[in-house]
Amino acid sequence: MQYPGVAEMMAADLRNVGLLRRIVRITAPAQYVDALLTELRDRLLEELDYRREAASQQVFAAYYRLHTTIRVPQIIGGLSTRRIVTTVLSDGARLVELASWPQRERALAAETIYRFAFRSLYEPSTATRIRATGCSTGAAGSPSWTSGSSSALPRPTWNR
């Protein structure tokens, strides 16, 4: 859920980027500062549109639908708006719990995180699907390990 007034405050702050523009011009004079700041503004404002984030999460959910250890919570469209994303409750384990897991489970969790991060970023079919939807990926759009926390993992299951 987006706090009231956050989108308006962010938009106002982004209109006043004069100081940032001067800093970037000093620290990185070869950069196209105006284009860079326009891109930054556009991406930040996209992050505030939770309908867009929900669409992005649906892309990830479809992509990882058959994965054995990654679960992306399903969006409940009728309860989601521009400022609220509602998902089904997804059970999981918190990252701090990893320390108490057997080595085999910790290794699987680490491999899952690694593969998810790099597959989501670099595998061409993922990037193509995300671009095709016009979605960005961000807080609500990134697959989460539980519905209320991005710091949890699905408990690995296999025959021991």
Among 54, 35, 31, which Cα is nearest to 43's?
Answer: 35
Name 94's bridge partners.
152
Taking only the tens of pLDDT, the chain with its 160 residues reads: 877 888 888 877 777 777 777 787 788 777 777 787 888 888 888 888 888 889 988 988 888 888 888 889 999 999 998 888 999 998 888 889 989 999 999 999 999 888 888 877 776 555 555 555 444 433 443 333 333 333 444 444 433 3
SS3 102: coil
Q: DSSP character for 11?
A: H
DSSP 68-85: SS---PPB-GGG--SS--
The residues, ordered by sequence, that sit 6+ positions from 145 with a Cβ below 8 Å of its Cβ are: 71, 90, 92, 93, 151, 152, 153, 154
The ranges assigned to domains in the chain are: 6-47, 50-153
Strand partners, 9: none
Cα radius of gyration (the chain): 19
- Give the containing element (helix H, strand E) for 103: helix 103-122
Please give the model's pTM, rounded to 2 decimal places: 0.59
pLDDT of residue 27: 82
> What is the C-alpha to C-alpha distance for residues 121 and 136, in angstroms, rounded to an integer?
12
Triad 135, 137, 138: Cα angle to 5°: 130
| Phi/psi at 83 (5° precision) | -120, 5
| pLDDT for 129 | 54
Residue 87: strand, helix, or coil:
strand
Q: What is the pLDDT of residue 125?
A: 59
Q: Which two tokens stand for residue 3?
A: 């706090």
Res 145: pLDDT:
33
CA dist., res. 128 & res. 80, Å (int): 25
Q: What is the pLDDT of residue 152?
A: 43
pLDDT at 28: 77
